[in-house]
Amino acid sequence: MWDLNSLVAIDIHTHAHTPPEAADPEENAQRAAMRAYFGQKGDELTTPAIAAYYRERKIGCVIFTVDSEKESGHRRYPNEEVAKVAAENSDIMIAFGSIDPAKGRAGAKEARRLVRDFGVKGFKFHPSTQGFFPNDPSAYVLYEAIAEEGAIALFHSGQTGVGSGMPGGNGIRLKYSNPMHIDDVAVDFPEMKIIIAHPSFPWQEEALAVCQHKPNVYIDLSGWSPKYFPPILVHYANTLIRKKVLFGSDYPALTPDRWLADFEKIDIRPEVRPLILKENAAQLLGLK
C-alpha cells in the first residue's frame, strides 16, 4: 500500500520495454528513432531499476508495456513480468497491462486473468501502433472484460514519437489516435474509467471536449514538456477539468525530473497543482 503523504507526485504513464538485447533489429531501430525524437540520453532502465528510480524521487508510478504484436510482429514484454515487479515494489509501483484488441475473446480472458491473478489495475491501448480505431466493435469484447473487472482503460492519443522520422512513419498511421473515437467508448461503457493520454496534437480541442462532457474520462499530460502545452489545455486544466487531469511523464521518453521542472514554470493555479500532481490520480486509482 502506498503512503500517499510521503509522495510528491503520481506518474500515471511510464513504460516497461523489452531489453534491447532481447528485441529484434527492427524493433531496436524504431526505438532508436524514438530516442532521437525525444532527445533521450543514457541507458533504458530495467523494470526493477525503474521502481528504485521512482522511489528515490518519492514519486509513485503506473507502469505498462504496449502489445502491438499483430501490426508490428514484435513480441510484447510480458504483462505478467511487469505485474510481478510491480507487486514486489508495491510501495511505489502499480501495473497496468496491455493487450492487442486483435486478440478478441482470448484477449478478454487474459484481461480478466491479469486483474484477478496479478492485481493489474488497468490496460494501455495504442491505437496507432495497434492499427485500430478505439470505437471498432471488434474491441468491445475486451472493453467488456475491463469494465466488468473494474479496471481502467488508457488510450494513446494524438501524434506519436513511434516511427517519427522513419520512412512512411514506419507504417504507423496517426488517424487511429484522434480522441474523438474514444467518445463512443465512453458512451458505450459509462462505468469504465478512461484516460486519454498525452496532449492530443493536433486534436487537443476534441480531447478536452470528450473529457469535459463524459464523467468517466480523464486526461494525462504525458509525452510533452509542459512548456509546450497549448493555452487552451492550461486553461481547461485550471478550470473545467481540474479534477480530471493527471501527471504523466511517458518515461523513458521524458523523465519525471524534466517534466516536473517545466511544470513549475507554467501558469497552473496553486490550488490546482496538487490535484494534477497527485490527488486526482490517487482518487482514480482507488488509493484514497
Concatenating the DSSP letter of every residue in the chain gives ---GGG-SEEEEEEE----GGGS-HHHHHHHHHHHHHHT--SPPPPHHHHHHHHHHHTEEEEEE----HHHH-PPPPPHHHHHHHHHHTTTTEEE-B---GGGHHHHHHHHHHHHHHH---EEEE-HHHHT--TT-GGGHHHHHHHHHTT-EEEEE-S--STTTTSGGGGG--GGGG-THHHHHHHHH-TTS-EEEES--TT-HHHHHHHHHH-TTEEEE-TTS-GGG--HHHHHHHHTTTTTSEE----BTSS-HHHHHHHHTTS---TTTHHIIIIIHHHHHTT--
Q: Which amino acid is at 284?
A: L
Report which of residues 261 and 29 the model is more confident about: 261
The Cα 234–Cα 217 span in angstroms is 17
The Cα 150–Cα 145 span in angstroms is 9
Cell 534491447 locates to 20
Share of the chain above pLDDT 90, in %: 83
CA distances to 61, 135, 183 from 190, rounded to whole Å, are 26, 14, 10
Q: What is the mean pLDDT of the chain?
A: 93
Of the candidate ranges 26-35, 46-55, 136-145, 228-237, the one whose mean pLDDT is the lowest: 26-35
Query: Which H or E run contains 61?
Result: strand 59-64
Q: What is the pLDDT of residues 155-183, one digit of tens each?
A: 999 999 887 888 898 889 999 999 999 99
Q: What is the pLDDT of residues 212-253, one digit of tens each?
A: 999 999 999 999 999 999 999 999 999 999 999 999 999 999
Share of the chain above pLDDT 70, in %: 91
* Residue 41 pLDDT > 80: no
* Residue 110 pLDDT > 60: yes
Count of domains observed in the chain: 1
Is the separation of the CB atoms in 165 and 36 below 8 Å?
A: yes
- Average pLDDT of span 45-66: 96
CA distances to 50, 162, 189 from 183, rounded to whole Å, are 33, 24, 10
Q: How confident is the model at residue 95 (pLDDT cuts 50, 70, 90)?
A: very high
The Cα 267–Cα 99 span in angstroms is 37
The pLDDT of residue 161 is 82
* Residue 201 pLDDT > 80: yes
The pLDDT of residue 21 is 44
Cell 479534477 locates to 243
Any idea of the CA torsion for 219, 221, 227, 231, to the nearest 10 degrees?
0
User: Domain range for residue 50?
Assistant: 4-284
CATH number of the domain that 140 lies in?
A: 3.20.20.140
Q: Which amino acid is at 4?
A: L
Give buried/exposed letters for 64-85 (b at 16+ CB in 10 A, else e). Answer: bbbbbeebbebebbebbebbbb
- Average pLDDT of span 86-114: 98
The pLDDT of residue 27 is 61
The pLDDT of residue 25 is 59
* Residue 20 pLDDT > 60: no
